[in-house]
Structure 1
Amino acid sequence: MNLRSSRCTIPVAALALAATSCAAPLTDAQSPSAPTFASWQKARRRLAEIRAEASGSGPRTMRLALTLREPRTGRTLEARGAVAVAPPEALRMILLGPGGTTALDLWVRGDSFRFAVPAIDLLRRGDATTPREAMRGLPVDFLRWWMLRPASGKLLWHEAERGGDRFVLREGQATIELFAAPGKGRVEARRTTWTSRAGEASRRIDEETIEADRMGCGSVRYRQASTGLAITVDCEGVETSRAPNERAFADPDAPPEGS
C-alpha cells in the first residue's frame, strides 16, 4: 500500500479514527406492526442485499481525507492516508503526519488487531479474548464491522420506513441500529457495546455512529460517545482493479521472513 505525505496535524489527528462526540439519536422509527413470517423473510432478503451492496467491491484500497474538530480547543485537524481492505478478514489503515511520518497505524486480521499512534507512544494489541471494556475509545470493532463485515449480526427487528429500511442487529456484545436507503443510498448506523458479565446487569460501554451519504466510497461522519470527538472522512478514490499487496496485511510486529 503506497501512501504519500500530505496535510496532517499533531497526533490528535491520528486519534481521530479512535474518537468522536456523543451521537445524536437517529430518526425515530414509526411504531412497528406485528411481524409476519412473510415480512420477516422479506426483511432477511433486504438485509442480505444490503450486505452484498456494501461488500460487493471486494479487496480494495481507498484514499482518504480526514477532518476532525477537537472539542476542547475547537481546532480543526486534517490528515490524509489510505486503507487497504480484504473482506472479511483483513484491514490496514495508515494516516500520515507532517513530513510523511506515521500518525496512525491500524492493523486488523481476523480477530487480532494492532492500534498504534507512534508520536504519543501508544501501542495496543488484542484479539477476541480482549475485554470490550479495555477497548473503550478504540474504533477497532466498529471498523471491522463497517469495512470488513458490513451489516453483519443476528437480525432482531426490522421496520420498513418511508425512504428505507431500519434494522436492529446483535453482534457479540454490541447492538446495532442500521438504516439503509434503497440501492447504494444513505446509510446510518449506531453501534452500542454493552458489558456481558454473569450475575450483573448490562451497562453501556460505548456508543458509535456513522452517517454515510452512500454505500462504498463516499463521505462519512463518525462519532464516538466516550471521547467527545467528531470526524468526517471523505473517500477520494478507490482502487478495485487489483487487490492490495498481501504484505499490507502482515502483522507489523512479526519478525521478518527468514530471520
Structure 2
Amino acid sequence: MLIRPTRIIKECSYVKKARLRFLGIAVVIIAQFYICSFAFAAGATTSLHLVKYNTDGVTVLAEKTVDYKWMERNLRVYGDGKTHYYHQGPVFEGNIWDPDEVKNLKDKGAVKGAALKDLCELLGGMTANDEVMLVSVDKWHTEFAYDNIYEPQSAQGTIALCWYNGEDALEGEHYGVGYPANNAYRTALQIVFISEDTNKEGKRVFGNSDMKTTLTKQKYQHFFEGQYPSTNGLSGKWITELRICSGGKHGESDIKLESNPAAGLKSSLPWTPISLGLVGVVMIGAYFFISRRK
C-alpha cells in the first residue's frame, strides 16, 4: 500500500504543531512556577538584624539578631491586637497638612510590636547625636533621630516594629492577620507609629500635621512626589535590619544588607523567571502566528 506524499506532509505538519503547542505550554508552566515561587518568597520578614556602628560608619560596636518570637517573649508589647492604628496618605486638596487628620487615612490594622527604643537598648542604646536607620529587604530605608525614639511627643507616639496583626485593615491595603510565619502577616516586620492621640472620629492617627510638629527636621519627614506630606511613606514593610549610626548617618552610600537574605525578599530582580515568562509569551505568539498561516 502506497502512502501518498500529501498524507505524509499533513502528518508531519500535525506533529510539528503538536510539538510546538507542547513546547509553548511547557515554557509557560515553567515560567509560572518560577514566578509563583518568587511571589511566595516575597513576603514577611521574621527576624531582625541589629547592629551599632561607630562614628566612622564601619566599625561594629555591637551586634545581635532576634526573631519575632523572641521580641514577643522578652520585650514590652505595644498595641493590643484589637485597636487599629492609622497613618495618613497625601492630601491633594485644601490644607495638605490636614490638622483634623481625617483625609486619606491608612489603616495599618490592629497591630502589636516592639518599640524601637527597646530594640536599640539591646545594643547599648543611643546618644543624643545618633540616628537609627531601618532597612528593608529591598534596600528601602528611613532614619529617625534620638528624640523621636527616646523622647517622643504624645502626638507622635511610640515608633514600633510590628510583628503581629490581630485584625486586618477595614479598608484600603490589606496586610494579613496573625504572625509573619507562613506569610500570615505578610507586610511584617512593619513600622507603625503607635499614637495615643485620637482624631475627632476616635481613631489613633499619626497624621501629616503630627509629622510636621514632631519630626522637626525635614530629612525625617516623607513627601509624596516631593511635595505632598504623607506619614504613610514612613510605614516601611519587610524591615530586616536596624542600625544605630553613632553621630548620625554619613553620606548616601549604597545600603548593603548584612542580615541573612533568607529573612525576606530578594534584593534583586528575578531575572530568571522574567526571562522564562518572556520566552513563553514569544513561543505562544509564534504558535498562533504559524497556526493562522496553515
TM-score, structure 2 length as denominator? 0.24
More helix by share: 2
More strand by share: 1
TM-score, structure 1 length as denominator? 0.27
